[in-house]
Structure 1
Amino acid sequence: MKTSNQLAKYRESLVKYALKYGVTKTAIKYNTNRQYVYRWKNRYNGTTKSLLNRSHRPNSSPTAHTESEINLIKSYHRRNKHTGLVMLYVKLVQAGYKRSITSLYRQLRKLNAITVKLPNPKIKPKKYETMFYCGQRVQIDVKVVPTSCIIGIEKYYQYTAIDEYSRKRFLMAFKEQSTYSTYQFVNALQNAWKFKIECIQTDNGSEFTNRFTTNKDKPSLLDLWC
């Protein structure tokens, strides 16, 4: 593939031959058309530089961003350096920006103002707290007993307690999932296990506590039991 300088020298030799022998003979010799010869002959001013390829970039662009639009983008990007493209576009539209989001992206690239995404914060997993004796912490949960495990049409709820140290398990079934059922369960649990229960861990459901209900100021039966 010829370089720009090689092409310019080739064109110069073509033009000089045309000036000496005419356009038709030049077109035949160089295996091209007369329009090509005329094109470079008219451009030639005596220097090889005049025969180099000119830039194809348009002299003007009617759809280019205006100075006020560029200043608006710069202003909002300066104040929102870590805001994503979509959020920045929404803010600009609210401020009167009327271009598409694709145009905004191209303009940000020209301004070298592409948002740099901050690294995700490293999440340090919480170290599991080792239990050292029975009853130090007991987990209690409730689940609906599958209908395939029940004879009849009644609905049951299974309360399960697991001691984290010994992995000992205790479970009971109730017809309702309520604070009263929870109260009955923990009483039966304490009677079944001879060691003292120091801490109970739950999922903070309404059957355990009122902290996340409309009666959050009123202690539940489990709170009173504890």
Structure 2
Amino acid sequence: MKTAQRKGKTYASRMYGVSLSSVKRWCRRYDGSWQSLKEKSHRSNSHPHQHTAREEDMIREAVRQSYFRYGWEGAYMAAKEGGYSRSYSGFIYAAKRLGLCGGKQKKPNTRKSDHRYPEILVPGEKVQVDVKEVPYNCLKGAARRDEKHFYQWTAIDECTRIRFVYGFEEHTPENSVKFFKMLQKIFPFKIQTIQTDNGTEFTYKYISDTELCLFDIALKNAGVQHKLIPPRTPWHNGKVERSHRNDQRYFYNWEKFASVKDLNRKLKDHLHWSNRKPMRTLGGKSPLDLLREILSNA
């Protein structure tokens, strides 16, 4: 720049092998300090489809209210309830741009294998069922004093990811039968297959060669196939196992129960939320939205 000022822009361009247009551009910016020559962002200051100030306020409020407990999906649902109408990916991009993400998340570990099970396309073709013990630190009052144990039965349809959950005080085949009869009334489609692990609440396969479990008998009388996963392979029931992890994150880490009636009352509200939560694996649709879409096209 000093050479250009002393001997002209063309001379400086030839001497240092820099294009004349670049020298002219730098001369317009040069104020005597090298900092003035630093390259600046070429990013535009505005965009015709950028988020408005009102939408940014909605994003901030939704993240403040729901992100800590319910994650990005819960924050997006809260924003939609407040009138936000943009896509899920646009919501996350805008939130991160506003500095609301708390830093970049770690990338998940790459899969060792790309093997995937074939997708189920018919509701009820296969329903995964499992039992989760309610964490003891979630009990309070009389339930904790009397050292009670509560159990959550969960059913999830592999096609739509629609769920049904219910709590019992005892881990028994009789309660599995009660849950199955409730499930038949709740799910608006015919159940063809139920897949479970090998727990004694579902089968006596590994403890008796002659006696049938009450759950097996109930499924047989209803014309429903009972499929058992191999022993010690919980990933074969991966969808219901994942839903239990989500229950722990979004529900049990926040709630306490004085009785099984109290547990079921709160589970009902949690189930209402989880069946309406958008899921990336369903293309941004909720399980209930996908179920309605499939049943309307049937």
Measured against the shorter chain, the TM-score band is: 0.3 to 0.5
The structure that is helix-richer by fraction is: 2
Find the structure with the greater CA-based Rg. Answer: 1
Task: Calculate the TM-score normalised by the size of structure 2.
Answer: 0.33
Q: Which has the higher contact order (CA 8 A, sep 6+)?
A: 2
